[in-house]
């Protein structure tokens, strides 16, 4: 089916309802965080998120006067990450647990079919629903220590045989809202929607140096009903990448990415607005509209290679 104006309006209205709804506040500072940008606050952040989960949701507040240094953490259903200050990703590889790669990628984004493990993203969800990230603050991946750790050199530090962590990865998740946030210096892909449904992203800025490796902005992967608008990207790889799995793994998983609208965007340095290269599950009904591109290596770009192609 074609994505309709009514469906887009429904996504927008849902995001407004979550934004306006009152929610109990869970502050990591109340769980022994320091917020000094130097002390590891992972346990405090996880404790605040666990309390919100046990409450069946709530607003986890990262106050504007603090910088929270952290390893990876999970976000569960009905939670608003209210990031008014800065979340600073740990550069210590031990801060990111090793996980099995997505079934439609097999060996992991870096390892690419070699059977190695991924590292969990800094911000992660798995089979959840109704999650919002907002607040006007920044999530900084401090990715510079990871960028040379590519699939050709992932056995050394800091990867030690596992893929680089992404900044945000939502997997098998529905009803996602991301707005009024800056995402910067991801170790790998910045925002990865993996088999997600009903997603609205707007007023989001993604930044990374132009020579940073694989710092995609918005990876829409095996996902359906996605509206991305009024946002900015400048970095070292694809501004937007529409994907659906690699080789026979993507074809076996069989999840087509479809009903995607990308509009009113501004793009700086990048590798363009890409469909592919991993698209073995197929793509359908993808619209790029009213997009300003300046300093990019490409504009709209359909790319694939032998074995990775699907159907459009």
* Alpha-carbon distances of 16 from 68, 97, 178, rounded to whole Å: 27, 34, 11
Of residues 27, 82, 221, 237, which has the active-site annotation?
237
Q: What is the largest CA-CA distance in the chain?
A: 53
d(CA 290, CA 234): 17
- Mean pLDDT value across residues 265-273: 95
CB 88 within 8 A of CB 67: yes
- Mean pLDDT value across residues 227-236: 98
Residue 240 has pLDDT above 50, yes or no: yes
237 is catalytic: yes
Instruction: Give the burial string for 10-25 (b: 16+ CB within 10 Å, else e).
Output: ebeeebeebeeeebee
pLDDT the model gives residue 271: 92
d(CA 181, CA 121): 17
User: Which range, of 6-10, 26-30, 48-52, 162-166, averages the lowest pLDDT?
Assistant: 6-10
- Can you tell me whether residue 17 is helix, strand or coil? helix
pLDDT the model gives residue 298: 86
> Residue 151 CA to chain centroid, in angstroms?
20
**Tokens at residue 282, please?**
């197929």
CB 62 within 8 A of CB 85: yes
In terms of DSSP bridges, do strands 273-275 and 300-302 run parallel, antiparallel, or are they unpaired? Answer: parallel
**Residue percentage of the chain with pLDDT more than 90:** 70
pTM for the predicted model, two decimal places: 0.91
Residue 5 has pLDDT above 60, yes or no: no
Q: Mean pLDDT of all residues in the chain? A: 89
CB 178 within 8 A of CB 125: no
Residues 6+ apart with CB under 8 A from 294: 266, 267, 268
**Per-residue pLDDT reduced to its tens digit, 96-137:** 999 888 999 875 554 444 456 789 999 999 999 999 999 999
- Can you tell me whether residue 44 is helix, strand or coil? helix
pLDDT the model gives residue 16: 46
CB neighbour class for 54 (10 Å; exposed up to 12, middle 13-18, buried from 19):
exposed
Write down all domains in the chain, each with its CATH number in brackets.
Answer: 5-259+266-302 (2.160.20.10)
User: Which range, of 1-15, 174-188, 241-255, averages the lowest pLDDT?
Assistant: 1-15
């Amino acid at each position: 089916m074609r994505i309709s104006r009514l469906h887009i309006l429904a996504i927008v209205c849902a995001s407004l309802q979550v934004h306006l709804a009152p929610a109990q506040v869970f502050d990591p500072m109340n769980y022994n965080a320091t917020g000094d940008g130097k002390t590891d606050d992972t346990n405090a952040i996880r404790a605040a998120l666990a309390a919100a989960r046990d409450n069946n949701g709530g607003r986890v507040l990262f106050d504007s006067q603090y910088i929270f240094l952290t390893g990876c953490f999970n976000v569960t259903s009905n939670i608003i990450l209210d990031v008014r200050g800065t979340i600073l990703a740990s550069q210590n590889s031990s801060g990111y647990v090793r996980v099995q790669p997505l079934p439609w990628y097999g060996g992991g984004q870096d390892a690419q079919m070699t059977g190695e493990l991924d590292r969990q993203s800094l911000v992660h969800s798995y089979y959840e629903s109704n999650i919002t990230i907002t607040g006007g603050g920044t999530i900084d991946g401090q990715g510079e220590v990871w960028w040379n750790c590519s699939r050709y050199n992932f056995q050394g530090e800091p990867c030690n045989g596992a893929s680089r962590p992404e900044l945000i990865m939502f997997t098998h998740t529905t009803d996602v809202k991301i707005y009024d946030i800056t995402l910067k210096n991801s170790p790998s892909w910045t925002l990865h929607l993996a088999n997600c449904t009903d997603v609205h992203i707007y007023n989001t800025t993604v930044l990374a140096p132009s020579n940073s490796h694989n710092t995609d902005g918005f990876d829409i992967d095996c996902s359906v009903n996605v509206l991305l608008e009024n946002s900015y990207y400048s970095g070292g790889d694809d501004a937007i990448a529409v994907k659906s799995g690699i080789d026979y793994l993507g074809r076996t998983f069989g999840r087509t990415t479809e009903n995607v609208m990308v509009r009113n965007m501004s793009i700086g340095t990048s590798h363009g607005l890409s469909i592919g290269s991993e698209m073995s599950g197929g793509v359908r009904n993808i619209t790029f509209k009213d997009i300003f591109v300046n300093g990019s290596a490409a504009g709209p770009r359909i790319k694939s290679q032998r074995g990775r192609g699907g159907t459009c």
